[in-house]
Amino acid sequence: MKEVQEHFPDGFLWGGATSAIQIEGGYREGGKGLSTADMVTVGSRTEKRRVTRELNEDVLYPSHEAIDFYHRYEEDIALFAEMGFKIFRMSISWSRIFPAGEETEPNEAGLQFYDKVFAELKKHGIEPLVTLSHYELPYALTEKYNGWASRKLIDLFVKYADVVLTRYKDVVKYWITFNEINCLLKPYGNYLAGGMILEADQGMFTNPNSEQRLERIQAMHHQLVASARAVIRARELNPDIHMGCMITYHTPYPYTCSPDDVMMTLEEDLINNLMCSDVQIRGEYSGRALRYMKEHGVELEFTAEDEEILKRGCVDYYTFSYYTPFTLSKNPPAELTNGNMSRGIKNPYLQTSDWGWQIDAQGLRWALNNIYHRYEIPMMIVENGLGAEDHIAEDGTIADDYRIEYLREHVKAMKEAIKDGVELIGYTPWGCIDLVSVSTGEMAKRYGMIYVDKHDDGSGSLRRLRKNSFHWYKQVIASNGENLG
Ligand code: BG6
Grade residue 342 by pLDDT with cuts at 50, 70 and 90. Answer: low
Grade residue 210 by pLDDT with cuts at 50, 70 and 90. Answer: low
Structural domain includes residue 7: no
Grade residue 301 by pLDDT with cuts at 50, 70 and 90. Answer: very high
Strands 174-178 vs 242-248: parallel, antiparallel or unpaired: parallel
Taking the C-alpha atoms of residue 16 and residue 259, their distance in angstroms, rounded to an integer, is 40
**What angle in degrees, to the nearest 10, is found between the helix axes of 287-295 and 275-282?**
130
| Contacts (Cβ under 8 Å, ≥6 apart) of 144 | none
| Domain encompassing residue 239 | 13-478
Ligand 1 binding pocket includes 186 (Cβ within 6 Å): no
Among 212-216, 297-301, 375-379, the range scoring the smallest mean pLDDT is 212-216
pLDDT in tens, 176-192: 999 999 999 988 899 99
- Testing ligand 1's pocket by substitution, the residue of 383, 428, 435, 445 carrying the most ligand atoms inside 8 A of its CB is 383
> Which CATH number is 205's domain given?
3.20.20.80
pLDDT in tens, 122-153: 999 999 999 999 999 999 999 999 999 999 99
Q: 57 pLDDT exceeds 50?
A: yes
Structural domain includes residue 62: yes
Grade residue 198 by pLDDT with cuts at 50, 70 and 90. Answer: low
Grade residue 345 by pLDDT with cuts at 50, 70 and 90. Answer: confident
Q: 355 pLDDT exceeds 70?
A: yes
pLDDT in tens, 400-444: 999 999 999 999 999 999 999 999 999 999 999 999 999 999 999
| Contacts (Cβ under 8 Å, ≥6 apart) of 212 | 187, 190, 196, 198, 206
Residue 421 per-residue DSSP state: T
Residues 60, 62, 63, 67, Cα dihedral to 10°: 130
- pLDDT at site 191: 92
Reduced to 3 states (helix: H, G, I; strand: E, B; else coil), residue 239 is: coil
- pLDDT at site 343: 61
Q: pTM score, two decimals?
A: 0.97
Phi then psi for residue 450, to 5 deg, are -115, 125
- Testing ligand 1's pocket by substitution, the residue of 438, 442, 445 carrying the most ligand atoms inside 8 A of its CB is 438
H or E segment to which residue 342 belongs: strand 342-345
Ligand 1 binding pocket includes 383 (Cβ within 6 Å): yes
Q: 29 pLDDT exceeds 90?
A: yes
- pLDDT at site 2: 85
Ligand 1 center–CA 304 separation, angstroms: 35
Mean pLDDT value across residues 155-161: 98
Q: 209 pLDDT exceeds 80?
A: no
How many domains does one find in the chain? 1
Ligand 1 binding pocket includes 437 (Cβ within 6 Å): yes
Ligand 1 center–CA 452 separation, angstroms: 17
CB 429 within 8 A of CB 36: no
Average pLDDT value for the chain = 95
Q: 480 pLDDT exceeds 70?
A: yes
CB 249 within 8 A of CB 179: no
Q: 308 pLDDT exceeds 90?
A: yes
Instruction: Calculate the CA 467 to chain-centre distance.
Output: 23
Ligand 1, atom nearest to 447 Cα: 15
Structural domain includes residue 152: yes
**From atom 3 of ligand 1, which residue's Cα is the shortest distance away?**
340
Ligand 1 binding pocket includes 261 (Cβ within 6 Å): no
**From atom 8 of ligand 1, which residue's Cα is the shortest distance away?**
438
Ligand 1 center–CA 338 separation, angstroms: 13
The DSSP string of 35-89 is BGGGGBPP--SSS--BB-SS--TTS--GGGTTT-HHHHHHHHHHHHHHHT-SEEE
Backbone region of residue 230 per phi and psi (left: phi > 0; alpha: psi in -120 to 50; beta: other values): alpha
Mean pLDDT value across residues 325-341: 73
Grade residue 107 by pLDDT with cuts at 50, 70 and 90. Answer: very high
Grade residue 341 by pLDDT with cuts at 50, 70 and 90. Answer: very low
Ligand 1 center–CA 182 separation, angstroms: 14
Structural domain includes residue 221: yes
**From atom 12 of ligand 1, which residue's Cα is the shortest distance away?**
438
Structural domain includes residue 77: yes
Ligand 1 binding pocket includes 19 (Cβ within 6 Å): yes
CA distances from 431 to 17, 42, 145, 262, 311 (A): 6, 18, 32, 34, 34
Which one has a higher pLDDT value, 342 or 389? 389
Structural domain includes residue 438: yes
Single out the residue of 338, 23, 384 nearest to residue 205, CA to CA.
338
**From atom 15 of ligand 1, which residue's Cα is the shortest distance away?**
437
Mean pLDDT value across residues 158-185: 98
- pLDDT at site 398: 98
Residues 414, 84, 394, 461, Cα dihedral to 10°: -110
**What angle in degrees, to the nearest 10, is found between the helix axes of 108-123 and 152-168?**
50
CA distances from 147 to 97, 142, 143 (A): 17, 4, 7
**From atom 5 of ligand 1, which residue's Cα is the shortest distance away?**
438
First to last CA, the chain: 34
Q: CB atoms < 10 A from the CB of 132, how many?
A: 22
Percent of the chain whose predicted confidence (pLDDT) is above 90: 89
| Contacts (Cβ under 8 Å, ≥6 apart) of 184 | 148, 190, 193, 194, 216, 217, 219, 220, 223
- pLDDT at site 344: 74
Grade residue 340 by pLDDT with cuts at 50, 70 and 90. Answer: very low
Active site residues: 180, 383
Grade residue 335 by pLDDT with cuts at 50, 70 and 90. Answer: low
Ligand 1 binding pocket includes 248 (Cβ within 6 Å): yes
Single out the residue of 267, 250, 251, 269 nearest to residue 259, CA to CA.
267
